Amino acid sequence: MRSASLFARRCRRLFHFSGTARVVPALAAAATVVLGATPALAGDGSGLMQGFSQGIAALQQSSQQTAAAMQQIQQQTQAAFAAAGQQTGTALDASLQQGIGGMALALDQASPGYVDATPQTTTVSGSITWQKQQRTYILIRPLRALPGAPALLILHAHGMNSAGMANLVRAGRLAEQYGVWVYLPQGKNGDWNEDPSSYNSTDDVGFLSALIDHAVAVDGVDRQRVYASGYSGGGFMAERLACQASDKLAGFVAVAATLRSSLQSICRPTHPMAVAFMDGTSDLLVPYGGEPTVDSAAVATAFWATQNHCAANQTETSVLPLVVNDGTSIARTEFTGCPADAAARLYTVNHGGHTWPGSAYSGYTFYVGRTTQNLDATIEIWDFESPFSL
């Protein structure tokens, strides 16, 4: 138990999950499911359920609507997995007890300095000037570029680069199969300023907003159909962009990320949008049940359902069909009472780790948990986002 907690703390430092935040007390209590403080590692889901019960009670003191939505997500997810003969919980994979030293090797494997070629696409390296600095990005677009194409930003995790992210998610498929212009921006020194409570002065919201303006003005993409997504720290950054520059986006998806309390307190989107989270129940870096400064997956989804003016008591959860028997399964929870221009969805990856669903990078899987092959996150993100526009 102690070694698992130590491993998690070291991993979080590597991915820049340290630091304090301005915490809304009730939401912080709801997000707290501390490794070692509950029997979650037993694999039977009891610790996760205990944490949610405590969180629901805390949320009821601050927001009845969010509490009801969160409770319904948890109940439906639990019931759906039970009906499929699965067990929920945060069972610790034996492989996750490997030392932190292997993380660098995994990142190197997932972050080569080149982009794998995809048929019928072209890859371009570009840059724009922001805050008197050259900020770079990779663009993958169809060979036959049509005006008014949709665009998707895909933001890398802390410690990665844009080329590695392109390969990790096989981003070129979106350009080849759907005509999407895929932008993969590079974080400064491999990081994103995604935490409003940090002392980082880099204006990444401004950089990404400027990149979108550039894509519209120079590349001719459709400004009504620009979306963001990201992995880990990149997922938190995509969410911050949606909070503070919502006029640029029709929606976002965060993978292996939820919602920081520091962002929740200042998040003021100007319009409803399509929002989804993809989180694993065995994620030790961004715990599915949350921690003091990071909300749980259920709280994050319920928060955005509230922002989108969705009915809190109208949700549906189903277990997706198994593609392979890899020890994981996917429960999809959807808020059904949302306006036509909005959506709120949670993909719960049962026994999934801090990974990008559907990625073929086994080295990354080994050190940060299982990568489910029962969901192709890249294609699913586009299928989810593409019907929506500003």
The yes-or-no verdict on residue 68 having pLDDT over 60 is yes
Q: Output the pLDDT for position 361.
A: 73
Residue 100 carries which DSSP code?
T
Angle at 172 between CA 171 and CA 174, to 5 degrees: 75
How far apart are the C-alpha atoms of 44 and 53, rounded to whole Å?
16
Angle at 19 between CA 18 and CA 24, to 5 degrees: 115
What would the pLDDT profile of 101-128 be if each residue is shown by its tens digit? 334 434 444 445 689 899 999 999 999 9
Place of tokens 């304090």: 20
How far apart are the C-alpha atoms of 252 and 101, rounded to whole Å?
33
Task: Cite the beta strand spans of 85-196 per DSSP E.
Answer: 121-130, 133-142, 151-155, 181-185
What would the pLDDT profile of 32-52 be if each residue is shown by its tens digit? 332 223 333 333 333 333 433
How far apart are the C-alpha atoms of 67 and 312, rounded to whole Å?
9
Q: Output the pLDDT for position 15.
A: 42
Q: Output the pLDDT for position 285.
A: 94
**pLDDT, average across residues 166-174:** 96
Residue 129 contacts residue 206 (beta carbons within 8 Å): no
Gyration radius of the chain over CA positions: 19
* Residue of 233, 347, 354, 360 lying closest to 282 (CA atoms): 354
How far apart are the C-alpha atoms of 178 and 215, rounded to whole Å?
18
How far apart are the C-alpha atoms of 80 and 346, rounded to whole Å?
13
Domains in the chain (CATH in brackets) are 94-385 (3.40.50.1820)
**pLDDT, average across residues 321-329:** 95
**pLDDT, average across residues 269-284:** 97
How far apart are the C-alpha atoms of 239 and 257, rounded to whole Å?
9
What would the pLDDT profile of 69-112 be if each residue is shown by its tens digit? 666 776 777 677 666 654 433 333 333 333 333 344 344 444 45
User: What pTM was computed for the model?
Assistant: 0.78
CA 165, 144, 180, 129 torsion-angle sign: positive
How far apart are the C-alpha atoms of 124 and 143, rounded to whole Å?
11
Q: Output the pLDDT for position 280.
A: 97
